[in-house]
Amino acid sequence: MRSALLYILKEGLDKKCPNLQRQNLSKIFRCKLPVHIPICTWSKVVHSPLSSKQNSTSIQTEKGKHINLDFQEFNEQPKLAPSLDSAVAKFCSLKMVFRRILVLMMGCLGCADQPTEPNDNLQESKTVVDESAISTTTTCRVRLSDGRFLAYRERGVPKNKCKYRIIIVHGFGSSKEMSFMASEELLDVMEIYLLIYDRAGYGESDPNPKRSVKSEASDIEELADQLQLGSKYYVIGVSLGCYPAWSCIKRIPQKLAGVALVVPFVNYKWRSLPDDLTKDDYRKQLSRLAIWLTRYTPGLLHWWLTQKLFPSATALEGNPTFFCDKDLDVLKNTPGYQLFTQDGLKKRRVFDSLRRDFIVAFSKWDFDPLELSNPYAQNESSVHIWQGYEDKVVPVQLQRYVAQSLPWIRYHEVPDGGHLLVYDTVVCEAILKSLLLGEDPPLYRPKLAS
């Protein structure tokens, strides 16, 4: 507890952060702060040895004055200092909160396989051929109208010979190297061309300082136009990558031949989402706290994710909070998820890319997906939701409510599936067949209580 608070004080001093309000710190860390000294004027923080004062820390102001911080509960008597055990217990509580937030963010990953680190040496015309792949895979970049570069790779049948063109939108912490476990044989037989790109700030794509829900759809539209995908194309969004897909449905429905939302996250700030459905959902409170931390105390969050005393990477080991057994097997047996190692997150640009994406996704949008009208009244295109019944990141009850609110969306439910559906070859191929051929496998029809 004390270490975390001291870091905030130093961060407030170094960054001159105006959002570090004393009352917020007091509520979070439950300690008394001096009311007469502004945080931004504290010039030095001195940690008193436990042997001398176990529950106080001295700070030195710019004028050289020393003030003690008294770590004690608000509901305790002012003269009583908590025991060392109590202080440790508070720190452990804070530690648990951070670990849960980390796992919440990890749950949004969906399918992260490669570090989100830009390649500064990549040139506009660079092409990379991965000869180890089952089929030839190329990686290159296009330049957008605002000067940014988007990197992408291609799978399947060449686009000039294909029957279906699909853009896959990766989720939080992922990249164009994400896994979508449809077999090369199926792609060849169905004549499918897959385009998987790095969203802004991920992988080899440039960051977008003006990132928004709207800009994500604009990036997809411009990418498709520059690569000449035709007047219509399909979009598959995965996990947090579904907010760009929702934005496409809202803004460019005329360019979509069909959309599949695979384990789409639900933003608790959608105004049409009823309170009685989410009031007991602990994910709602965690998402609020995560947004507050990422928005107002990024330095604290970055410190927590990279500090060595309590390595956050262990938060995933056997943690059933946001992952069912099937998901945990994927996490244990699949290489990747390097983003949430200490070495990966020490790179501040990696952390900042994740932070910006998370904030846009979970903040208030300029529209409510639950209020969208059917853009395909003539059934010229279709929209699908794929949900795992055992998904602990997005509860099945929320996803069913979304589907019931939008009856024009075709809802599919995988009985034993978790959040990492794209690692299941059978499910991935079913997603493609339902999106492209209109198949509706009985196995994936939700079994609703009568």
**64 within a domain of the structure (yes/no):** no
Share of the chain above pLDDT 90, in %: 48
List beta partners, residue 233: 256
- pLDDT tens for 184-232 read 999 999 999 999 999 999 989 999 989 999 999 999 999 999 999 999 9
Span of 32-46, 51-65, 262-276, 377-391 with lowest mean pLDDT: 32-46
Q: Are 141 and 126 in contact (CB under 8 A)?
A: yes
pLDDT at 432 over 60: yes
pLDDT at 227: 97
> What does the pLDDT read at residue 362?
93
* 113, amino acid identity: D
Whether 169 has a pLDDT exceeding 90, the answer reads yes
Q: pLDDT tens digit string along 3-30?
A: 444 444 444 433 444 444 444 444 444 4
When the pLDDT of each residue in the chain is averaged and rounded to a whole number, the result is: 75
Burial class (CB in 10 A: 0-12, 13-18, 19+), 131: exposed
The answer to whether the CB of 68 falls within 8 A of the CB of 81 is no
**66-89, pLDDT tens digit by residue?**
555 544 433 333 333 444 344 445
Least confidently predicted of 206-215, 322-331, 390-399: 322-331
Q: Report the number of distinct structural domains present in the chain.
A: 1
**69 occurs within a structural domain:** no
Q: Give the pLDDT score at 49.
A: 41
The C-alpha angle 168, 172, 177, rounded to 5 degrees, equals 50
Q: pLDDT category, 101, cuts 50, 70, 90?
A: low
Query: What's the confidence (pLDDT) of residue 333?
Result: 76
Print burial letters for 172-210: b (CB count within 10 Å at least 16), e (below 16).
bbbbbbbbbebeeeebeebebbbbbbbbbbbbbbbbbee
Q: How confident is the model at residue 285 (pLDDT cuts 50, 70, 90)?
A: confident
Domain assignment of residue 101, yes or no: no
**Which of 289, 310, 356, 282 lies closest to 4, judged by CA?**
310
Q: Which residue has the higher pLDDT, 242 or 63?
A: 242
Q: Is residue 28 part of a domain?
A: no
Q: What is the mean pLDDT of residues 273-282?
A: 88
List C-alpha distances in Å: 385 to 149, 259, 260, 367, 388. 30, 9, 6, 19, 10
pLDDT value at 340 more than 60: no
The mean pLDDT of 296-316, rounded to a whole number, is 61
Q: Residue 15: inside a domain, yes or no?
A: no
Output the pLDDT for position 88: 41
Confidence category of residue 125, pLDDT binned at 50, 70, 90: very low
Nearest to 411 by CA among 304, 271, 263, 275: 263
Is pLDDT larger for residue 141 or for residue 316? Answer: 141
Proportion of the chain above pLDDT 70, given as a percent: 61
Give the model's confidence band at 325: pLDDT under 50 very low, under 70 low, under 90 confident, else very high.
confident
* Whole-angstrom Cα Rg for the chain: 24
The answer to whether residue 40 scores a pLDDT higher than 80 is no
**351: phi then psi, degrees, rounded to nearest 5:** -60, -45
The CA distance from 402 to 379, in Å, is 20
Q: What is the pLDDT of residue 23?
A: 47
pLDDT for res 97: 58
Q: Is the dihedral of CA 103, 109, 110, 114 positive or negative?
A: negative
Q: What is the CATH number of the domain that holds 320?
A: 3.40.50.1820
The residue ranking higher by pLDDT, 129 or 349, is 349
CA-nearest of 236, 231, 202, 247 to 375 is: 247
Residue 87 counted as domain residue: no
pLDDT (0 to 100) of residue 289: 81
Tell me if residue 133 falls in helix, strand or coil: coil
* Residue 327 is assigned to a structural domain of this protein: yes
* More confident position, 403 or 53: 403
Residue 417 lies in a domain: yes
The DSSP symbol for 157 reads S
Would you say how long the chain is, in residues?
A: 450
Listing DSSP states for 174-209 in one string gives: --TT------HHHHHHHTEEEEEEPPTTSTTSPP-T
Supply the range of the domain harboring residue 282: 140-449
Q: What average pLDDT score do residues 120-131 get? A: 36
pLDDT tens readout for residues 243-275: 999 999 999 999 999 999 999 999 999 999 999
Highest-pLDDT range among 17-26, 179-188, 283-292, 329-338: 179-188
Rounded to 5 degrees, what are φ and ψ at 242?
A: -80, -20
